[in-house]
Amino acid sequence: MLSRTAYSTPAILSTATALLSRTPRPCIAAKWLRSRGFTSAPPAEPIPLRKHLKDEAKRRKAEEKSGKKKSSVVDTRLEKWELTVGIEVHAELNTSRKLFSSAAATAEESNVLPNSRVALFDAAMPGSQPQFQPATLIPALRAALALGCTIQRTSRWDRKHYFHWDQPNGYQITQFYEPFAKDGVLRVGADDGVPAGDLNGADSLNIGIKQVQMEQDTAKTTQVPPSTYHIDLNRAGHPLIEIITLPHIHSPQTAAAVVRKIQGVLKSVDACVTGMELGGLRADVNVSVRQRGTHGTSSYSGVTGLGQRTEIKNLSSFAAVENAIVAERDRQIAVLEAGGVIEGETRGWTLGATETTLLRGKEGEVDYRYMPDADLPPLIIGSDLVRHLEETLPELPDKTTERVQAQYGLSKKDAMTIVSLDDGERLEFLEEVVDLLRARVGAQGDEASQLGRLAGNWVIHELGGLLTTTDMEWQNVAITAAELADLLSHLHTKQITSRTAKQLLRTIHELPPTVERPSVEQLIDEGGLRLRPLSEEGYVALAESVLSESPQVVAAVKEKGQKGKVMWLVGQMMRLGEEGTVEPQKAKEVMQKLLGI
Amino acid sequence: MHSARRCWHRASRHPLQPACKHVRAQHAQAGSLNAITNTAAPSNAEEQGRLAGKNVAIKDNITTSSLPTTAASGILSTHVSPFEATVVRLLRQNGATITSTTNLDEFGMGSHSQHSVHGPVLSPFTRDGIPLSPGGSSGGSAVAVASGQCWTALGTDTGGSVRLPAAYVGVVGFKPSYGLLSRWGVIQYANSLDTVGVLARSVGDVREVFEVLNQHDARDPTSLPDSVRQRVTSSRSERQDHKGKALRIGIPLDYNITSLAPSIRKTYTTLLTTLQSQGHTLHPIHLPTTRLALSAYYVLAPAEASSNLAKYDGIRYGQRSTTATADASPAEKLPLYAATRAEGFGEEVKRRILLGAYTLMSEARDNYFLQAQKVRRLVQRDFDRVFAAPNPLLDAGGHDIGEGEREEDVVDVLLTPTAPTLPPTVEEVQRSSPVESYMNDVFTVPASLAGLPAASVPVALPEAVREGLGEGDVRSVGMQVIGQFGDDELVLRAAEVIEKLYH
């Protein structure tokens, strides 16, 4: 169900939103919030995506550690109580028209005048009627197929009524009774973030998708303090899909993993607006608990024996999904253990909160008075279209990860990382680099796989590190795949040292994009960076001078057997030697020989 | 003043129209009948086309770009539509002049055209000096036609809103099959039932307008596509051409209700006898679901109305309450827009919105809305069982009709009275309860539920009945011809057969 509904007061939108579109990529959550206008202050200094991911990982680790202590309290309760969660995810479809009018669909951030993309029906002009735009069906079908759903030949449109100024007709057109897709399944595993306790030894969990339906988005509200609201109908009528999972989820982490996975799937089949972090995603979660081994009296989506559920609406980040469920689970357990009763109510949760808050109780529940929309004929989807889309469906993230592991010899972790970065652009870049590199080196078999790993390492870690230290977004990276392939082929064939290669990478990265760029070859030659191998004698002389300068270290290695210090000595050789002459491997061999180890 | 002359000319020999002096009287009092809501400035443009020089009035719930479109509601009292309805555009394209917009029951909700922000419409006929009800909701269109203020007028018919006023003021009213005439620009009341209809002084005039408007419109998603229109036409031409042949006329026994006024019954039986004497055959048939149809209609139409009228919040157009509670952040516990909607809507509209909101509630839905939908399907099945022509919207096998269920004695058209009584006076209307008012629609609602073409034709009251009525009272009552879906031309032809009996 659409969650930005009646009676929720939109927060203030700062005018900073528009001005910030050229600043570096902020974290997903912050960007989402800003694009939706859910912030009251100009956002703080945007955090680069990579840093955000790092921080998130750090936070999660820290939480895991501290969680062990905390969870010892919770754990005893969780042994007694079982959590059940069902999720509804809303995603904005990537279409050029609105769902029921030929007005252009507007991406959130584009610089379009408010209320400039509004057809008569979008403004609910008396006497106007909806006109279904068949092209909007394509991304919706792709999404449903990617989620393993069965496409229904006939589906229908229903009106869901509620009064709010962001809903010009007084109802939202959705597919409540007969959705276009049903009975899908989403597989999530440890790599997606499912905790081991949830997996029970299995590789992965299958989360049932009850249905996927198409529906209209609402208008955007901007509050002009103190009491004026501006309504922009550009978004009104934009097509959304709502994905409803079965209540098959039993931990907050798995719930977040499911939402993350759904996002990845939608992105991979190009079903949603560019980069879902820009605002295409929000989730509502249904949460209930019951004592293990007992049967509750509630049921939904065909699953019986559950405890009374509550719904938490409008969650806009993965962390929000997870934390809101934790908070609501703990609240319900506390209420039940105190002898209370859980009411079927709608609750809200805000970022950073530790508790969910009551939005409206059962008696305040909106009755949406669903009815079929008599203006709209049933939607009939031909099996030929479904077949065609099935055959041309882009690769799903799991498949891509497997392929990247096999083709480039990357670790699973690195493969997942590169698949998830920059809307797949980073992966495309890598593929180009590897192709060029393999051609240049003429590599096959093991060597080809070695080159894949080398390139993967450089694209993910070296280039990624540069992005972090220079606070730059991927899309602004100037270095081309050909340049990196040149660089790596020189490195692989030992024409330059690894240190030189890293320096060159930084140099190219920092060249102003406007200047005529020298080739990698030119840079190497002009900088005199080509490896000029020292003779055996040269290495020995260099090693000896290092040894004579550091008698304590030599003593430590020889007398105390601190072999680790050898590498320090090798480092000294690298430092003393002329740029581009010392190979670390060779230096190490010579040093070990002189030390007699 | 072509149309007035024509009216004069015809009235002088036409037993259905009021006598000459009444026509003159009507013209004098036309303004006071309150049929017109807005009049266009005269245009000197030389129009070309089939309807050149013809003056057409438009019910004020069909958008015109030249005049305000108010739907007779306070909430739209200043509304000027940014676009024009397809049916209006087609009239203009064929040379017609849009002279005025006509008064109605607010949003089409009513049977007597008394619920209007512009004030009630009065029939040109009176009883003991008291004006009669013009019928509704297209009362303004019917009166404008009857009193010669226009050549023809467009109305809308959701449950009888074209046929009933036509019957009450003695003109022809035609509701085509649902989906033939575009609803783009027609302000929705109950959109699964709303149909644009034509009011005129003769069946021939109705046909002229209908033929101009009868075409597919891509902007109305319920407009029948050309492929279906062709299927309907070809299935009709496969059957024998009826022209000049005797009609098989169905007499629905279920319409012989106790509340049928003796005057109507007498007129009806006289008509049937006359038709029989002309060689047409009469066939008693059963439409058993008829008695449920009215209740089903008054569940479905308000349910759709409550949904269709949800858009009137005073934000993007229309009237907005100036009271403090109309603010975007309403006072404690007050629903959004309550003040705007309370001020903008009339009592009957509010009644139907509440009724509809109730029957759609999750607890009530199964008992009301879904039951009514089932009744609607049964009503349609009733009709499919008795018509010789199969319903072209169903599968070739007549999917919905079980084997052997079809009546052996199938018919071409049905003939019923349009309304169970003579028009009441406006005072009687005021005294009657809403439910009593709804009873007027008992004969018109079934065809609406099934989307069938139906026309009301004025039929002269027999001498004996007429003698019992006062001088200003009506001289005719409406008789309704109903045909199978897509049999619009057959309905018009049958209406013409009846019309000719009185020439």
Q: Nearest CB to B219: which of A129, A170, A370?
A: A129
Within 10 A of A134 (CB to CB), how many other CB atoms are there?
A: 11
What separation, in Å, do the N-terminal and C-terminal C-alpha atoms of chain A show? 71
Q: Is the pLDDT of residue B94 over 70?
A: yes
C-alpha dihedral sign at A474, A476, A480, A485: negative
Closest approach of A340 to chain B, Cα-based (Å): 27
CB A250, CB A195: distance < 8 Å: no
Nearest to B316 among A124, A127, A227 (CB): A124
> Which ipTM value was assigned to this complex?
0.91
Which residues are paired to B196 by β-bridges? Answer: B156
Q: Which residues pair with B173 in a beta bridge?
A: B199, B456
Q: Judge contact between A369 and B310, C-beta under 8 A.
A: no
Q: Is B119 left (phi over 0), alpha (psi -120 to 50) or beta?
A: left
Whole-number pLDDT of residue A170: 94
Residues B229 and B171 sit within 8 Å (Cβ to Cβ): no
Name the catalytic one among B3, B73, B111, B161. Answer: B161
Query: In whole angstroms, what is the distance from residue A360 CA to residue A345 CA?
Result: 6
Q: Where are chain B's structural domains?
A: 2-241
Residue A476, amino acid: N
Residue A90, SS3 per DSSP:
strand
Listed in order, strand segments (DSSP E) in A217-345 are 220-224, 228-232, 239-245, 281-291, 298-300, 303-306, 310-315
- B341 DSSP 8-state letter: H
Work out the angle between the directed axes of helices A445-457 and A425-441 (0-180°, nearest 10): 140
Is the pLDDT at B116 greater than 70? The verdict is yes
**Chain B residues with CB-CB distance to A156 below 8 A:** none
Say yes or no: B503 contacts chain A, CB-CB below 8 A.
no
B window 362-391, beta carbon within 8 A of A: 362, 365, 369
Question: Which of A128, A132, A165 lies nearest to residue B315, judging by beta carbons?
Answer: A165
Give how far Cα A516 sits from Cα of A179, A508, A511, A519, B364, Å.
56, 11, 9, 10, 75
Cis upstream peptide for A168 (omega within 30°): no
Active-site residue B433, yes or no? no
The model's pTM: 0.78
Q: List, in sequence order, every residue forming a beta bridge with A92; answer none if it has no partner.
A: A240
pLDDT of residue B344: 95
Catalytic annotation present for B161: yes
C-alpha atoms less than 13 angstroms from C-alpha of B472 in its C-beta half-sphere:
15
B73, B158, B311, best to mutate vs chain A, most A CBs in 10 Å = B311
The pLDDT of residue A18 is 33
> What average pLDDT does this structure show over B412-430?
96
Q: What is the pLDDT of residue A11?
A: 34
Q: Quote the minimal CA–CA distance from B222 to chain A in Å.
A: 6
Q: In this structure, what are the phi and psi dihedrals at residue A111, rounded to the nearest 5 degrees?
A: -85, 70
Beta strands at B476-483 and B413-417: parallel, antiparallel or unpaired: antiparallel
Contact B163, B187 (CB under 8 A): no
Strand runs labelled E in B4-90 = 36-39, 55-59
What pLDDT is attached to residue A186? 94
Q: Which amino acid is at A181?
A: A
Q: Can B432 be counted among the known catalytic residues?
A: no
Distant-in-sequence contacts of A363-369, Cβ < 8 A, 24+ apart: A366/A5, A366/A6, A366/A7, A366/A162, A367/B361, A367/B362, A368/A1, A368/A160, A368/A161, A368/A162, A369/A161, A369/B306, A369/B307, A369/B357, A369/B360, A369/B361, A369/B362, A369/B365
Chain B's closest residue to A8, CA to CA, is B329
Chain B residues whose CB is inside 8 A of the A120 CB are 82-83
pLDDT of residue A65: 56
Segment B123-138 mean pLDDT: 96
Residue keyed to tokens 């101009």: B212
Is B28 a residue whose pLDDT tops 60?
no
Question: What is the rounded average pLDDT of the residues B23-44?
Answer: 74
Task: State both tokens at B173.
Answer: 């009213």
Low-confidence ranges of chain A (pLDDT < 70): 1-75, 107-110, 274-280, 361-364, 423, 513-515, 580
pLDDT > 70: percent of chain B: 87
Residue A252 backbone phi and psi in degrees, to 5:
-60, -35
Nearest by CB to A129, which of B184, B307, B317?
B184
Residue A61 CB-half CA count within 13 A: 6
Give the per-residue pLDDT at A533.
Answer: 75
Neighbouring residues of B90: CB distance < 8 A, sequence distance ≥ 6: B182, B212, B213, B215
pLDDT value, residue B35: 96
Q: Phi/psi of residue A216, each to 5°?
A: -90, 145
Give the pLDDT confidence of B261-303 residue by residue, as tens digits. 999 999 999 999 999 999 999 999 999 998 899 999 999 999 9
Chain A contact for B393, CB < 8 A? Answer: no
Q: Beta-strand (E) ranges in A66-201? A: 81-92, 150-151, 154-155, 158-161, 171-174, 181-189
Contact A6 B336 (CB under 8 A): yes
Listed range (B336-340, B370-374, B426-430) with the worst mean pLDDT: B336-340
More confident residue, B323 or B220: B220
Q: Which residues of B touch A129 (CB under 8 A)?
A: 183-184, 219-222
Rounded CA gap, B337 and A105, in Å? 28
Set of chain A residues whose Cβ sits within 8 Å of the Cβ of B369: 371
Please judge whether B307 and A168 are an interchain contact, meaning their C-beta atoms are less than 8 angstroms apart.
Answer: no
- Which residues in chain A touch residue B310, judged by CB atoms under 8 angstroms apart? 161, 163, 169-171
> Residue B49: is its pLDDT beyond 70?
yes
Reading phi first (left if > 0) and then psi (alpha if -120 to 50, else beta), residue A2 is in beta
pLDDT of amino acid A8: 36
Q: What is the mean pLDDT of residues B73-90?
A: 96
Task: Categorize the per-residue pLDDT at B30 as very low, low, confident or very high, splitting at 50, 70 and 90.
Answer: low
* H or E, element range at A550: none
Cβ pair B369:A165 closer than 8 A: no
Q: What tens digit of pLDDT does each residue of B451-470 get?
A: 999 999 999 999 999 998 99
| Contacts with A, B 306-365, CB within 8 Å | 306-307, 309-311, 313, 315-317, 327-329, 335-337, 357, 360-362, 365
Average pLDDT, chain B: 89
Pick among B336, B349, B363 to test the A interface (most A CBs inside 10 A): B336
The pLDDT value given to residue B143: 98
Amino acid at A324: A
CA distance B320 to B3: 41
C-alpha–C-alpha distance, residues A342 and B342, integer Å: 37
d(CA A480, CA A488): 12
Q: Within a 13 Å sphere around the CA of B446, how many CA atoms are in the beta-carbon half?
A: 30
Q: Which CATH superfamily is domain B2-241 in?
A: Amidase signature (AS) domain (3.90.1300.10)
